[in-house]
Structure 1
Amino acid sequence: MARPTQPALIRLTHWANLVLFAIMAGSGLRILAAHPMLGAVGEEYRWVPFQGTRPPAFLTLGGWLAGARHWHFAFASLFVLNALVYLAYFVASGEWRRRLFFPRRDARNAWETLLHDLRLRRAAPGEHGLYNGMQRLAYTGVLATAPLLVLTGLALFKPVQLPRLTALLGGYDLARALHLGVLVALAAFTVVHVVQVALHPRTLVDMTVGRRARHEGGPT
């Protein structure tokens, strides 16, 4: 019996995450623009690239600091709720088995895919299920990194109410730097992801309407 290779709930949470992440990123950058220096006042971090540089206005949302904070905190709960719905389905449905990176299964394919994408290998890697090894590696990296975005966000939102969490993350200022660093990493992944989709538009159809396998137990 045929079944969607991209289940409806995965597709729904994927597109919801796209919208919510864009809102969170835009409002977060507007908050950063109000004080673009990272580190304690007078002891700014020297290791931060582009220290003191305000993000371009067209990438920001909220208009001003208070407006951006309203946007950011209003949509933070929806962002987390969407992630929890996805995670619950991800685990309960067994989707993790075909989406997460397992070195024994995926390492060789990931390496061959990388060489092929860099034009260092002529032959394309063979079929490897729903995702190739490199895609699974990136997918797993995002899932492993995303919780840090939420934890640092909580430390910034409630540093007094959550002092242990804030201390665990190195204090308010380091948590702020980590929060921005994770945002930059996820934004970079998003750019690469969009480029890959543009190169392989069939995947956009798959994630929008759901492509069906030819038969149960066939390509996944």
Structure 2
Amino acid sequence: MRQIFKAGLGLALMASLGACAAPNTASRAAMPDDAMLGFAQQDVTIDSFTVSVPKSLTVNERNTYYPRGDIVWRGDPIGDRHAQVREIFEAGLRNAAPRISGTRPVRMDIQVTRFHALSEKARYSVGGVHDIEFMYRLIDVTTGQQIGATQTVDADLEALAGQAAMVADARGNTQKARIVAHLGSVLVEELTVAGGHQNANLGILQAINDL
């Protein structure tokens, strides 16, 4: 019932809006799918990383305004969406690593918990929000000990819509390119800024994702 209500509310709101109108080598030995135990201090540098996208995360390929599922991704050809999401996070980590220049080398273990981008129908009409969530822990590479507690990060990104999305694609600024760059910035903030990354306030479409 909650999902029906959410879908109905989402369609109603999007219709209304439319009427008014976006390091080092990665290890494939990622973390286990169960809860992690860990956190990040500042003054670190990324020596290596792992990314886990649990197979328990559900994938939805339906072209509706708001497909139900943990993973909704259309920025790569149809294929193994879990692997594609992992590669996006790995690219974001490679983007971030050179910009994190502390003195304590760590391995960063990331576990993705949600990666809900836009369906074709939403992207080329009303737009929306790329709803991205993950957990991470830092492991001191010298001692092998985890540093602090595991952190949970919300890393939402406003999605381009309609003509703006098509123009961006033509320039090479695709969904994938935008999300990789965004993840890089999020990770830099997490490890270098006091308080870490602060999720953007993206309005009603973001609120729909949280229902």
Q: Tell me whether the two structures share a fold, i.e. TM-score over 0.5.
A: no
Calculate the TM-score normalised by the size of structure 1: 0.22
Calculate the TM-score normalised by the size of structure 2: 0.23
